[in-house]
Amino acid sequence: MSMSDQQIVWATAAQLAEAIRARQLSAVETVRAVLDRIDRVDPELCAFVTVLRKEALQDAAAADDIQATGRPLGPLHGVPVSIKDILYTKDVRTTAGSFIFENFVPDADAIVVERLKNAGAIVIGKTSTPEFCHKTVTDSPLLGITRNPWDLSRTTGGSSGGSAAAVASGLGPLSIGTDGGGSIRLPASFCGVVGFKPSTGRVPQYPGFEGWDFLGHTGPFARTVEDVRLVMDVIAGPDARDPMSLNRPDPAAASRVPGKLRVAVARSLNHLEPEAAVAAGLQRAVAAVRDLGCELVNRQVMWTDPDLQFRVIVAAELASALEPHLPEFEARMDPGLVKMVRFGASQSATALVRALQWRRDFTRDLLQCFTDADVLLLPTSPVTAFAADIIGPTTISGRKTSPFDWFSWTWPFNLTGQPAISLPVWTGNGLPVGLQIVGRPGADDVVLDFAAALESRLGATATSRHPHLEPHK
């Protein structure tokens, strides 16, 4: 039985792959339905920098031809996927949200894109990012503001905001983002989808722009944990072109039953309480964890002055990549990025080494949270999506904060390299809340298994809740 366009755009990747494999749906029908919805809806979202209508339809037709020959099909055969505009795509403009690379066209795919194509996925376009992913809201000099599909006056978060907005809005079931400090998990939280940051090295990162080698991760957005796992089975694994890539899953992961896990719960961070909707979402999750039969451990989480050292590492890397471009492009760059680059350029080699040494000590201390727990459950962000024209709130739960404090719940796990996923839940105010699940380094499968069990118990998938968006006229 064929599917309507409405059914196609809200289907999961697993459902689409199964329908295409069973010849209930063609790749061309699937891709065309998604592209038509992008045409109708994206003008008010600004989730896409580039839409590959002609190329995607040609690739879909080729996919249908392959299927007609009876040749073996990849696990994502005919499934649409979008790619964050920081990741290289062969023969497709890749801008990093910057005028510096406004007309840059790579001559090779990033390994993750190469693997998706080999699995049969159809790349439909490139999604928005702030300039060089330098901040956790999504606006850029090239595209402007990317808006939250649940409330167009609010932010998607960042820096993979275009990918999260696309998946949340029915503009493809999958997208690939990057995460250097929360850039997958935060937009997933604000947009009500699933976003996964794998362990350091699980997904190779080559070739690509310089600037995020120390802390960057590449991972998927989807509407279900099942789809995240489907993508990870395709994109994870070592590659000699990226010497830093690893493939060291936790050897005991297969024997860990989600209902038997020890779950540490952090309800606040450095005494900062989340807003009411977020606290309610976490409370729902805690009740579900009890229902699963897990052992609960309450955990007080305190970071020891991580902000300055984190900024030194990030800014020094961005400065090494971008400072040579300042004389020509500074006037057309995001002022916040310029400030960050200048700060990074002012740091000495000694300061950077001290920051990296601090990172080692911080990681050792943070991993103590896992001596009596298998996973850590905490909010992805202490707030839900805020106004699209600010960098962050200055008051959270009645407490004055820095406008950067709201994302301090995510970036420590970039420093430690641990796997972390954001799972959506709704608590009645119309905006999604993100639940963050963090595992030991290398225990990606433990995190995904537990997230799937919690998702099922909560009924917290993004498949039945759709934002109301008026088609563009």
Euclidean distance between CA atoms 242 and 20, whole angstroms: 33
Predicted pLDDT at 312: 94
List the alpha helices (DSSP H) in 79-134. 111-118
Euclidean distance between CA atoms 184 and 127, whole angstroms: 13
Predicted pLDDT at 460: 66
Phi (first) and psi of residue 204, to 5 degrees: -60, 150
Buried b (16+ CB within 10 A) or exposed e, 108-136: ebbbbbbbbbebbbbbbbbbbbbbbbbbb
Predicted pLDDT at 46: 98
Strand partners, 196: 421
Query: Which of 199, 180, 197, 201 is closest to 244 using CA atoms?
Result: 201
Q: Residue 428 — very low, low, confident or very high, per pLDDT cuts 50/70/90?
A: confident
Average pLDDT for residues 135-155, to the nearest whole number?
97
Express each pLDDT in 363-375 by its tens digit.
Answer: 999 999 899 999 9
Structure tokens at 8: 């196609």
Domains within the chain, CATH numbers bracketed = 5-458 (3.90.1300.10)
Predicted pLDDT at 472: 57
Euclidean distance between CA atoms 157 and 137, whole angstroms: 4
Residues 12, 224: contact at Cβ < 8 Å?
A: yes
pLDDT of residue 206 exceeding 60:
yes
Euclidean distance between CA atoms 185 and 451, whole angstroms: 14
Express each pLDDT in 267-287 by its tens digit.
Answer: 988 778 999 999 999 999 999
DSSP 3-state assignment of 356? helix
Work out the widest C-alpha separation in the chain, in whole angstroms: 65
Phi (first) and psi of residue 375, to 5 degrees: -140, 155
Residues 444, 249: contact at Cβ < 8 Å?
A: yes
Residues 79, 61: contact at Cβ < 8 Å?
A: no
Catalytically active residues are 84, 159, 183
Euclidean distance between CA atoms 130 and 158, whole angstroms: 7
Count CB neighbours of 302 within 10 A: 10
Structure tokens at 466: 């759709």
Express each pLDDT in 209-255 by its tens digit.
Answer: 999 999 999 999 999 999 999 999 999 999 999 988 876 666 655 55
Euclidean distance between CA atoms 288 and 449, whole angstroms: 15
Count CB neighbours of 43 within 10 A: 12
Predicted pLDDT at 1: 55
